[in-house]
């Protein structure tokens, strides 16, 4: 019988358990639904990346992929009827929005079964539990248990995969960046591009990953986050080559990279157990801390005009490239929470809109980690100093000069302190909106008060 494969965060054909399950049942109608509810929260770069992945997927299905716009609870059952599909296959979705949506779709499908096989994670959220049966609250024991699960070897495209006769499809919409002057050059989001980048990373970058991963001035990380976000590669597919890479790159580098993939699984697991933690504090420890109301300072932060060079470079990289280096995500997030005294969701929402890898679990729990309200939190009293951090992780100032043109005339690491450089403000770089030393003391004062 014909079955349907409803693609969501799994826009690929290789190593795809749900597609394999659908193919085993007979010819497959491949479908992607453009859900206006989801697109509303995405900025132009994120939307561009999604549409790019859909366009490439359509190409690799030889045009068989059916694209429709609308509420999935209406579109999916209608397509199932049009195709005479006996079942609809998906990769399990674990975000609060995805779970609610799938419940509605399941109800609307009636007798046609919604079959979930696999998920966008190495280990499906909810599966790893401690000996007492509870979910893990901190990363290290989760990671040990995660490693013990082991994982199967990746598989290619399902054997015997046949597409069902086509039904009407919309065109993939044009990218919102088409025709926009100065639109950023973005990497292709496709299965082939994911494989190519991963090969380059393993061959050339993995060996120095333990140190270079903290250097925003270098291309030292995998840059696979957009691929993991849209599922142009499955994380399990990345694990097998790692074992073989260990002899060249070193066990430490391999373990470091593997543990980053496990962090992604961990945060998804936390969200599975605590869906409420997406937009509110996971832990009540700072429930009474005093935050300021967002205003002009939030706008300056969003625009990359705080007067702190590494913060501004990061915020402009976010707007320009739809990506920000992990170290700088931590620095800019700390600045919002501890220098501007704003509640983390104000910053998390801006990140989510613009990051091409924007993901509610990794993003919002990354924010909570910095804010001291999440799992394994960084202690609240640890306040990042943007100047020290800049000098340490961008030691020649190249990262700042790349993203902040008004400071390109300042040589070396002094670019992190334009107030010490004669002529530092000659090209319009803004003055500091707050004094870091003062705000650090203020953050600690509020923290002590909240702790009683």
Binding site for ligand FAD (CB under 6 A): 213, 221-225, 228, 260-261, 263-264, 267, 326, 329-330, 333, 351, 355, 357-359, 362-363, 366-367, 370
Residues 6+ apart with CB under 8 A from 234: 10, 12, 15, 16, 118, 120, 154
- 368 known member of a binding site: no
- 257 known member of a binding site: yes
Residue 15 or 406: which CB sits closer to ligand FAD? 15
Residue 117 or 223: which CB sits closer to ligand FAD? 223
- 263 known member of a binding site: yes
Q: How far apart are CA 370 and CA 287, in angstroms?
A: 15
- 258 known member of a binding site: no
Residue nearest to ligand FAD (CB): 366
Residue 32 or 139: which CB sits closer to ligand FAD? 139
Residue 305 or 329: which CB sits closer to ligand FAD? 329
- 367 known member of a binding site: no
Tell me the β-bridge partners of 387: none
Q: How far apart are CA 439 and CA 308, in angstroms?
A: 13
Shortest distance, position 79 Cβ to ligand FAD, whole Å: 30
Residue length of the chain: 452
Residue 309 or 366: which CB sits closer to ligand FAD? 366
Shortest distance, position 359 Cβ to ligand FAD, whole Å: 4
- 139 known member of a binding site: no
Shortest distance, position 240 Cβ to ligand FAD, whole Å: 16
Q: How many CA atoms lie within 13 A of 7 on its CB side?
A: 30
Residue 301 or 351: which CB sits closer to ligand FAD? 351
- 272 known member of a binding site: no
Shortest distance, position 49 Cβ to ligand FAD, whole Å: 12
Shortest distance, position 31 Cβ to ligand FAD, whole Å: 25
Dihedral sign for Cα atoms in the order 352, 358, 364, 367: negative
Shortest distance, position 39 Cβ to ligand FAD, whole Å: 17
Residue 312 or 357: which CB sits closer to ligand FAD? 357
Q: How far apart are CA 167 and CA 64, in angstroms?
A: 9
**What are the backbone angles phi and psi of residue 224, rounded to the nearest 5°?**
-95, 0
Residue 48 or 213: which CB sits closer to ligand FAD? 213
- 265 known member of a binding site: yes
Shortest distance, position 362 Cβ to ligand FAD, whole Å: 4
- 432 known member of a binding site: no
Shortest distance, position 20 Cβ to ligand FAD, whole Å: 23
- 266 known member of a binding site: yes
Which parts are annotated binding residues for FAD? 209, 221-225, 257, 260-267, 357-359
Which parts are annotated binding residues? 209, 221-225, 257, 260-267, 357-359
């Amino acid at each position: 019988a014909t079955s349907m494969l409803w693609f969501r965060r799994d826009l690929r054909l290789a190593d795809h358990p749900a597609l394999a399950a659908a193919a085993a049942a007979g010819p497959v109608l491949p479908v992607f639904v453009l859900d206006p509810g989801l697109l509303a929260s995405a900025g132009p770069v994120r939307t561009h990346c999604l549409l790019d992945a859909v366009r490439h997927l359509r190409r690799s299905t030889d045009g068989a992929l059916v694209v429709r716009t609308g509420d999935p609870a209406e579109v999916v059952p209608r397509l199932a009827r049009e195709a005479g599909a006996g079942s609809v296959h998906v990769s399990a979705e674990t975000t609060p929005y995805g779970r609610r949506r799938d419940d509605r779709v399941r109800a609307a499908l009636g007798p046609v079964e919604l079959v979930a096989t696999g998920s966008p994670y190495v280990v499906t959220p909810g599966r790893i539990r401690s000996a007492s049966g509870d979910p893990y609250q901190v990363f290290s024991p989760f990671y040990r248990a995660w490693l013990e699960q082991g994982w199967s070897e990746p598989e290619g495209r399902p054997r015997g995969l046949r597409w069902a006769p086509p039904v009407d499809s919309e065109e993939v919409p044009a990218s919102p960046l088409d025709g926009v002057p100065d639109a950023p050059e973005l990497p292709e989001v496709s299965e082939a591009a994911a494989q190519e980048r991963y090969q380059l990373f393993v061959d050339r970058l993995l060996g120095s990953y333990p140190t270079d991963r903290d250097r925003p001035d270098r291309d030292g990380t995998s840059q696979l986050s957009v691929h993991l976000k849209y599922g142009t590669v499955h994380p399990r597919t990345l694990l097998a080559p790692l074992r073989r890479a260990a002899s060249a790159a070193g066990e430490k580098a391999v373990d470091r990279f593997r543990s980053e993939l496990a962090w992604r699984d961990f945060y998804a697991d936390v969200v599975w157990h605590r869906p409420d933690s997406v937009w509110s504090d996971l832990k009540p420890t700072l429930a009474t801390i005093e935050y300021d109301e967002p205003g002009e300072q939030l706008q300056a932060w969003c625009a990359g005009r705080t007067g702190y060079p590494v913060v501004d470079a990061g915020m402009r990289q976010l707007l320009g490239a739809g990506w920000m280096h992990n170290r700088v995500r931590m620095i800019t997030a700390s600045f919002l929470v501890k220098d501007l005294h704003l509640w983390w969701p104000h910053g998390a929402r801006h990140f989510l809109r613009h990051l091409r890898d924007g993901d509610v679990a990794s993003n919002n729990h990354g924010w909570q980690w910095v804010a001291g309200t999440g799992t394994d939190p960084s202690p609240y009293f640890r306040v990042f100093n943007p100047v020290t951090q800049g000098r340490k992780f961008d030691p020649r100032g190249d990262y700042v000069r790349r993203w902040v043109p008004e400071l390109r005339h300042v040589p070396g690491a002094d670019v992190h302190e334009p107030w010490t450089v004669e002529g530092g403000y000659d090209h319009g770089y803004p003055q500091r909106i707050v004094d870091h030393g003062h705000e650090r003391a203020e953050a600690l004062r509020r923290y002590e008060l909240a702790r009683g």
